[in-house]
């Protein structure tokens, strides 16, 4: 107990002194400061010379870049050094630089990114920006703003995600902006959407009449049949890809066929997961869906071990955790307590886990504005697809979306 207390006090003292140094940016040397951090946090190899003096051996600096979000370090590890040992001391580096850190290793290389900015308390939804930053993505998702800046992810790379949080934390708003962006920026022939709105259809009903939407379920007693149909589509697609091309996945298949033969991706959103008692069909999609272009976002405001079973959690690498009631709920989503520590006065604040963990302010899209955007999109697409001529074949492209931004 005493050693833990002393360690905590050491971090606080080290951090306080470091912060005083950090504030004076003109004289602050981040490379030297990182080396001091290694030594003070016992991340250096300690050797006693013949003359009795102590020598501290730290990783060799290969590259250093000062970014607008903070600092990026690249080191070459020396024999006897472990990446895990540096990862375990991440909190020392974060305290020393008064920021957040990401640590990763590749071979004998150690990469440390230190983010010194603050996470904003607001993040706006801007379709122009989302389009400009995600045009290469298949299922674009604007996560929000972290210390590093605006973050985007292609859900096909995720390939499935869990979104959790108590009422009012930002979960429904996050799903709303995700669906709105995909509805505007992607054609119905590119993306098919399956919505399970098990809160009596109150959250996602505005999207029901989109041409993208193939399934809309707001009755828990109809879930089993709908999921069975989706699994049936999954099986047919697997057979099609195997028999026609023998490619390993939908991406390889679509790259091998002409435009009119490409298969659409499927996005499945379930809100609220806790209402589904038998999750076997969901587990199957989670296991097999990625290669065949079926991707899920599973949302819940009641994260517990029964709702987020081990197999579902293991197959959903992306987690977006908003404020939760207690540390138990947070641990079920993130395996740590950080979601329980999010201040209530920051709605939309989340902890995102995908490749790394970071604090993110998610985009705000008011329900009234989303309704207007989606209503306009539905009207436009209804008129567009009433034309007898196939616009893609005839080279006329797809509906213009710039007017929504």
Residues belonging to the active site: 272
**Residue 170, annotated ligand binder?**
yes
118 vs 91, 99, 145, 227, 359, CA distance in Å?
17, 8, 10, 42, 10
Q: Is 167 marked as binding a ligand?
A: yes
Phi, psi of 72, rounded to the nearest 5 degrees: -125, 125
Residue 309 annotated as part of some ligand binding site: no
**How far apart, in whole angstroms, are the C-alpha atoms of residue 111 and residue 289?**
32
Binding site annotation covers 238?
A: no
DSSP 309-349: -HHHHHT--EEEE---SSHHHHHHHHSSSGGGGS-TT-TTE
Q: Tell me whether residue 114 is exposed, middle or buried, using C-beta atoms within 10 angstroms of its C-beta: 0 to 12, 13 to 18, 19 or more.
A: buried
Say if residues 371 and 206 touch (Cβ distance below 8 Å).
yes
Place of tokens 């707001």: 218
Annotated binding residue at 165? yes
Does residue 168 have a known ligand-binding role?
yes
DSSP 8-state code for residue 52: S
CA dihedral 133, 135, 140, 141 (to 10 degrees): 10
Residue numbering of the annotated binding site: 165-172
Residue numbering of the annotated binding site for ATP: 165-172
């Amino acid at each position: 107990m005493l050693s833990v207390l002393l360690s905590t006090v050491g971090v606080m003292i080290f951090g306080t002194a470091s912060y005083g140094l950090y504030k004076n940016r003109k004289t602050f040397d981040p490379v030297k400061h990182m080396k001091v951090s290694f030594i003070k946090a016992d991340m250096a190899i300690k050797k006693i010379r013949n003359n009795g003096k102590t020598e501290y051996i730290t990783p060799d600096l290969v590259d250093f870049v000062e970014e607008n979000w903070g600092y990026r370090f690249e080191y070459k590890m020396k024999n006897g050094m472990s990446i895990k040992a540096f990862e375990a001391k991440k909190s020392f580096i974060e305290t020393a630089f008064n920021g957040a850190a990401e640590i990763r290793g590749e071979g004998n290389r150690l990469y440390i990114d230190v983010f010194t900015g603050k996470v904003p308390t607001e993040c706006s939804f801007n379709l122009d920006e989302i389009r400009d930053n995600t045009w290469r993505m298949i299922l674009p998702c604007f996560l929000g703003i972290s210390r590093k800046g605006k973050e985007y992810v292609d859900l096909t790379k995720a390939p499935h995600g869990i979104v959790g949080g108590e009422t009012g934390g930002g979960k429904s708003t996050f799903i709303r902006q995700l669906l709105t962006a995909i509805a505007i920026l992607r054609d119905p022939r590119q993306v098919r959407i399956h919505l399970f709105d098990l809160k009596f259809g109150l959250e996602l009903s505005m999207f029901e009449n989109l041409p993208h939407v193939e399934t809309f379920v707001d009755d828990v007693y109809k879930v089993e049949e709908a999921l069975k149909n989706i699994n049936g589509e999954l099986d047919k697609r697997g057979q099609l890809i195997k028999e026609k091309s023998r490619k390993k996945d939908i991406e390889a298949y679509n790259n091998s066929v002409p435009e009119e033969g490409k298969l659409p991706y499927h996005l499945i959103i379930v809100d609220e997961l806790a209402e589904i008692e038998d999750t076997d069909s969901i587990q199957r999609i989670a296991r097999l869906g990625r290669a065949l272009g079926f991707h899920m976002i599973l949302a819940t405001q009641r994260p517990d071990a029964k709702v987020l079973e081990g197999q579902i959690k293991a197959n959903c690498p992306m987690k977006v955790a908003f404020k939760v009631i207690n540390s138990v709920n947070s641990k079920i989503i993130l395996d740590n307590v950080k979601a329980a520590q999010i201040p209530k006065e920051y709605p939309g604040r989340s902890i995102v886990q995908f490749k790394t963990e970071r604090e993110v302010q998610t985009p705000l899209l008011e329900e009234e504005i989303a309704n207007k955007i989606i209503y306009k999109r539905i009207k436009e697409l209804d008129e567009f697809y009433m034309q007898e001529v196939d616009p893609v074949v005839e080279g006329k492209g797809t509906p213009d979306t710039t007017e929504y931004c």
